[in-house]
Structure 1
Amino acid sequence: MTADSFDLAIVGAGIVGLAHALAAARRGLKVVVIDRDAQANGASVRNFGFVTVTGQQAGACWRRAMRSRDVWAAIAPQAGIDVIHQGLAVAARYPESVPMLEAFLETEMGEGCEILTRDRARERVPGLRDDVQAVLWSPHDLRVESRDAIPLLSRWLESAMGVSIRRQTSAREVSLPLIETSAGPIRVEAAIVCPGDDLLGLYADRIAAYGLTRCKLHMMRLRPQREVRLEAAVMSDLGLVRYLGYAELPQAEALRRRLRDERSAALDDGVHLIVVRSADGSLVVGDSHHYADTPDPFAPDSVDRTILEEFDNVLDIGPYSVAERWTGTYASASDRLMLVDQPEERVRIVIVTSGTGASTAFAIAEEVIADMYGT
């Protein structure tokens, strides 16, 4: 059987794989994406769709998030992806949080951001509780509905960018110039493997050297009984000790000590609050973080209650019901946010190890393709 021929094969059709397909197609390469599932089903559609810039670690991660946000904004209208809302409001309930927000404004990452009083913040985030002392407002972040955006991005890459996507196809071996798949061989000049949290598939020995594990998170969709005019994402103090752009500031230690004393259950479950609105008026709320080589499939109600407690601490939106609950998993590392490994001259392994794929993948992909094909 004659093998199909491409310039570049990408294994994995999550956001990291699709980002590499875009970067390569923009350079005029003939690209094939290989994915074992019939449709997007992993971490790329089990998240907030929140392209988070503000709060990402200072330096490379923050710059990648800014660039990836710009790419999302440019391609969304072309691909028929709705940008549902823009901006971020970080609601500070604890006095120890306020010096952190003030210090953040003094960094490069604080450009364009401001601290709002509670009354001014309520104009943008109705329903803020009375004990919210200040709100960091950022215009930089945006939100798409990930379960819609990823399929639409895939279709646009096929129809407008000439990318071939092979679904329900497993890549069994990369041995250039061939990739052996469950649907037969594919002839390629180069390959990029984007396995997500599948750490035991292709190049398992190379991946094992990084000591990765997996993180499980809880998510929910809430349906308020009355309309909630939420025009930006909302976060809370718990996020200030998880997101490294804040947590690495010297002023974070005082908040960290108080949360250890008063919110130990939330910290133990890795809970922090993100709230985003969907086009139908529902709210996507999360999340939590539990780490294991093989996360169990169970979702204790106690974790969801902790998330909802934090939601109710920050926002008063009236009665609501939980319409959906789900979990997701992603690859995680304690010492890095992402990795690029080169097992062979024309092969790369790319894994985002911090849950920031939607926020940084487009910029990572541009860097990888530039490295492989020249700037």
Structure 2
Amino acid sequence: MTEEFDLAVVGAGALGLAHALAAARLGKRVVVFDRDARANGASVQMTGLVTVAGHARGAWARRAKRSRDLWAEVCAEAGIRIEHEGLAIVARRPEAATALEAYAATDPAPGSAFYKPDDAHALFPQFRGDIAGVFWSPDELRVEPKSAIPRIAGWLEETHRVAFRWETAVSGFHEGVVATSRGPVAAKALVVCPGSDFHTLYGDRLASASLIRAKAQMLRIRYEEGFELPGAVATDLGVPRMPGLEGLDGVDALRSRLEIEQPDHMRHGIVLIAAQSADGTVVVGASRKLDAAPDAIQSQAVDDLILDELAAVFGRRPKTIVSRWIGTYAYSSDRPLVVEAPEANVRVVVAASGAGASAAFAIGEETVADLFG
């Protein structure tokens, strides 16, 4: 042990990198451990969309806005392409329109607005058929996660002198020493960002956090050449799952109607998110199946349900399915953010809402401020 670090971070996904950045900006010497050769968890498996709209009022809304600003800063400094900005939530039913119009009236962000059918069709000609309106949020941004997360790691290493120990498993932390598969490393404090691994480190503390793994089916599709989205796109299916809309007029009625009209979508936890890449392909998701040990099987029936919702918005199915994959992330129905402090200089942090990347940088600042003052 020739070098001592102020902070050791376990996990090189978005949340781990956010903690590394927050500490490095305070002048701390940071080391990041990951048992894989590169980030390979939820951060790179999902859409790469950083959301602002729809978060619960208060702390989560503030985190989302702060994180979005930090994402923009990091992208500019690290040379990461922002694929597109903004989010359009298409109301296919009047109940969804009622809820989204009420949400727009809460002034969630400057530039947010709800457009009624005539204006919506004029502004968003991509959306076909009968729609009850479109909610537009300008703040969302999307990165290509498989390239963005490694680039952030490289930028942290080069610009902020953050050390990375890849293919290195951490088995414990005691009296300022991190026990790893490649030998001990000295550190004054430890942050564990375990993703969906609730058992390897401090499993006893996480056992009471009501955490479970969520399995999501994802696709990358292609429409005809020239097809272009206005930003990310969502639909009615996501409205009842947005904490920021809870209790607004129309939400309960929409949920009841969806249970009747789209019972299979609801049973498989499907929420449509479509986000476009620079090559014109569109990342589409996602289902949600909760399981302590999710399998790796991709169901064609579930993919078809996702594609059905996509076709309902754009009037047709895609020309090509480029690829399919499964993402796994941490989920809790009652604790969207789990922070445990098993020791004064240790924090275990799990973003358990499926929106970890969206809030990551603000959570990192909060944790580091708590540890170092």
TM over 0.5: yes
Is the contact made by 1:217 and 1:328 (CA closer than 8 Å) also made in structure 2?
A: yes
1:177 alignment counterpart? 176
Encode CA deviations 1:9-43: one digit per residue, 9 max, x unaligned.
Answer: 00110111000000000000000000000011110
- CA change 1:319–1:352 in 2 (3 A) is closer
Matches within 5 A, 1:109-148: 109=108, 111-122=110-121, 124-148=123-147
2:234 alignment counterpart? 235
2:47 alignment counterpart? 48
1:373 alignment counterpart? 372
- CA change 1:319–1:185 in 2 (3 A) is closer
1:187 alignment counterpart? 186
Distance in 2 between residues matched to 1:214 and 1:343, nearest whole Å: 22
Task: Give the drift of 1:111.
Answer: 4.4
2:8 alignment counterpart? 9
- CA change 1:141–1:313 in 2 (3 A) is same
2:76 alignment counterpart? 77
Task: Give the drift of 1:244.
Answer: 1.5
Encode CA deviations 1:87-142: one digit per residue, 9 max, x unaligned.
Answer: 11110110111110121022242543111234543455442112112000111111
- Larger displacement relative to structure 2 (299-308 or 120-129): 120-129
Is the contact made by 1:86 and 1:141 (CA closer than 8 Å) also made in structure 2?
A: yes
Q: Which amino acid aligns with 2:144?
A: E
Secondary structure of 1:256's counterpart equals helix
Is the contact made by 1:3 and 1:185 (CA closer than 8 Å) also made in structure 2?
A: no
Matches within 5 A, 1:203-218: 203-218=202-217
Is the contact made by 2:50 and 2:357 (CA closer than 8 Å) also made in structure 1?
A: yes
Distance in 2 between residues matched to 1:123 and 1:13, nearest whole Å: 43
Is the contact made by 1:221 and 1:325 (CA closer than 8 Å) also made in structure 2?
A: yes
Secondary structure of 1:241's counterpart equals helix
Matches within 5 A, 1:268-347: 268-316=267-315, 319-347=318-346
Is the contact made by 2:214 and 2:331 (CA closer than 8 Å) also made in structure 1?
A: yes
Distance in 1 between residues matched to 2:121 and 2:284, nearest whole Å: 19
Matches within 5 A, 1:156-167: 156-167=155-166
Distance in 1 between residues matched to 2:106 and 2:309, nearest whole Å: 28
Q: Which amino acid aligns with 2:303?
A: D
Question: What are the ranges of 5 or more consecutive residues in structure 2 without an aligned counterpart?
Answer: none
Is the contact made by 1:224 and 1:317 (CA closer than 8 Å) also made in structure 2?
A: no
Distance in 1 between residues matched to 2:275 and 2:318, nearest whole Å: 17
Number of matched pairs? 373
Matches within 5 A, 1:249-268: 249-268=248-267
Is the contact made by 2:307 and 2:317 (CA closer than 8 Å) also made in structure 1?
A: no
Percent of paired sites with the same residue:
46
- CA change 1:23–1:298 in 2 (3 A) is same
Is the contact made by 1:87 and 1:140 (CA closer than 8 Å) also made in structure 2?
A: yes
Matches within 5 A, 1:84-123: 84-109=83-108, 111-122=110-121
Distance in 1 between residues matched to 2:224 and 2:96, nearest whole Å: 32
Encode CA deviations 1:57-85: one digit per residue, 9 max, x unaligned.
Answer: 22211110110000011110111111111
1:38 alignment counterpart? 37
Matches within 5 A, 1:194-205: 194-205=193-204
Question: What are the ranges of 5 or more consecutive residues in structure 1 without an aligned counterpart?
Answer: none
Is the contact made by 2:78 and 2:151 (CA closer than 8 Å) also made in structure 1?
A: yes
Task: Give the drift of 1:245.
Answer: 1.5
Task: Give the drift of 1:246.
Answer: 2.0
- CA change 1:107–1:325 in 2 (3 A) is same
Secondary structure of 1:362's counterpart equals helix
Is the contact made by 1:277 and 1:283 (CA closer than 8 Å) also made in structure 2?
A: yes
Distance in 2 between residues matched to 1:73 and 1:317, nearest whole Å: 34
1:349 alignment counterpart? 348
Secondary structure of 1:154's counterpart equals helix
- CA change 1:82–1:343 in 2 (3 A) is same
Task: Give the drift of 1:193.
Answer: 0.6
Is the contact made by 2:308 and 2:317 (CA closer than 8 Å) also made in structure 1?
A: no
Encode CA deviations 1:145-165: one digit per residue, 9 max, x unaligned.
Answer: 111110110100000111001
- CA change 1:319–1:183 in 2 (3 A) is closer
Distance in 1 between residues matched to 2:253 and 2:142, nearest whole Å: 31
Q: Which amino acid aligns with 1:171?
A: V
2:223 alignment counterpart? 224
Distance in 2 between residues matched to 1:222 and 1:316, nearest whole Å: 15
Q: Which amino acid aligns with 1:372?
A: L
Distance in 2 between residues matched to 1:119 and 1:279, nearest whole Å: 30
